[in-house]
């Protein structure tokens, strides 16, 4: 049924995920939802040097928030920080260089961060789509290491800090591509069969939806959400999906349009009136499965995913320096 899921997802995307879909949805937005002052609140944004991450960080900075940019590339991150400070006039922008595909680095960062800062909102935006199977120095498949394990460790490591905060939130940037994937816990690192980077990425994004639902059950004092930004014109899309970009470039959303729901989930009072653990698109909760797509998983598979990721994460924590 994969052909069916892919076709339905793409047709749905042509209607809803493009710039036109955003413009149609935005007619029903309440601008006051995001016209808020968040001075005194602390936000951490991963993958914040470009694309949706930078657009989100910039809008939070405009509203007075303290923003921690977590980026892999120091040079690009410093340029992004300078741009955000210059455009917003907000000096409370802090830079942290962390490779989200390196679990030991994430543990080390999170442990240090907890001792030095407070945190109200974590935004898991960093991600990658590597189209050929590539292993990290730890022997992890790179997409899984960054998109799934990196997100898991960053979140679980910072949960104790978030639980001390008022109105704590965690937002994870997923993708509508996850709608074509059923959770597969038998091959987390895509080591068997032909390797398709797009489908591996989509599987990671399905895993992020499951993580969010599981975290929402486990941590009642934090509001968890996961979202699809639509198809946006970002550096990641241009480099990882060049054929898709060429075909769709005239109808892709801007980075700011892609970031709109992340911002709404991060700062608006309306977002936390909705239940924790939902999947959002254009400021509305939407289903996590397409009709007749057969992508539902048994609860035991979802629980097993959490167990497997915890085992992975603890293995790297035990050898973490510091």
DSSP 3-state assignment of 67? strand
Quick check: is 294 catalytic? no
In degrees, to the nearest 5, what angle opens at C-alpha 55 toward C-alphas 129 and 251? Answer: 65
Beta strands in the chain (DSSP E): 42-46, 66-71, 93-97, 121-124, 168-173, 222-227, 278-281, 284-285
Dist CA 233 CA 253 (whole Å): 6
Catalytic member of 17, 22, 152, 201:
201
Dist CA 205 CA 183 (whole Å): 10
Q: What is the largest CA-CA distance in the chain?
A: 52
> Tokens 């260089």 identify what position?
97
Pick from 142, 129, 131, 173: nearest CA to 155: 173
Dist CA 108 CA 113 (whole Å): 9
> CA separation (Å) from 305 to 19, 204, 205?
34, 12, 13
Tokens for 43?
């936000």
Catalytic sites, residue numbers: 201
């Amino acid at each position: 049924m994969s052909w069916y899921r892919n076709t339905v997802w793409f047709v749905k995307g042509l209607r809803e995920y493009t710039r036109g879909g955003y413009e149609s949805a935005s007619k029903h937005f309440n601008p006051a939802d995001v016209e808020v002052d968040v001075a005194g609140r602390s936000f951490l944004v991963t993958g914040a040097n470009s694309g949706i991450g930078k657009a989100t960080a910039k809008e939070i900075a405009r509203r007075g928030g303290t923003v921690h940019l977590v980026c892999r590339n120091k040079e690009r991150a410093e340029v992004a920080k300078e741009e955000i400070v210059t455009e917003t006039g907000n000096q409370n922008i802090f830079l942290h260089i962390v490779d989200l595909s390196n679990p030991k680095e994430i543990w080390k960062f999170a442990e240090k961060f907890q001792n030095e800062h407070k945190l109200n909102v974590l935004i898991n935006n960093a991600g990658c789509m590597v189209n050929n199977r590539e292993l990290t120095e730890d022997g992890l498949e790179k997409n899984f290491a960054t998109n799934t394990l990196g997100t898991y460790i960053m979140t679980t490591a910072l949960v104790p800090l978030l639980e001390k905060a008022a109105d704590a939130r965690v937002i994870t940037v997923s993708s509508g591509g996850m709608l074509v994937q059923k959770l597969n816990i038998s091959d987390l690192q895509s080591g068997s069969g032909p390797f398709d980077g797009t489908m591996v990425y989509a599987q990671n994004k399905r895993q992020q939806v499951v993580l969010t639902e599981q975290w929402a059950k486990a941590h009642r004092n934090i509001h968890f959400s996961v979202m699809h930004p639509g198809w946006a014109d970002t550096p990641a899309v241009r480099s990882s999906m060049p054929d898709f970009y060429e075909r769709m470039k005239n109808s892709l959303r801007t980075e700011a349009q892609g970031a709109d729901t992340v911002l709404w989930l991060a700062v608006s009072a309306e977002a936390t009136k909705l239940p924790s653990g939902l999947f959002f698109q254009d400021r509305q909760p939407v289903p996590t499965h397409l009709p007749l797509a057969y992508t539902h998983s048994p609860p035991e598979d979802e629980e097993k995913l959490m167990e497997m990721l915890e085992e992975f994460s603890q293995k790297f924590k035990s050898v973490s320096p510091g």
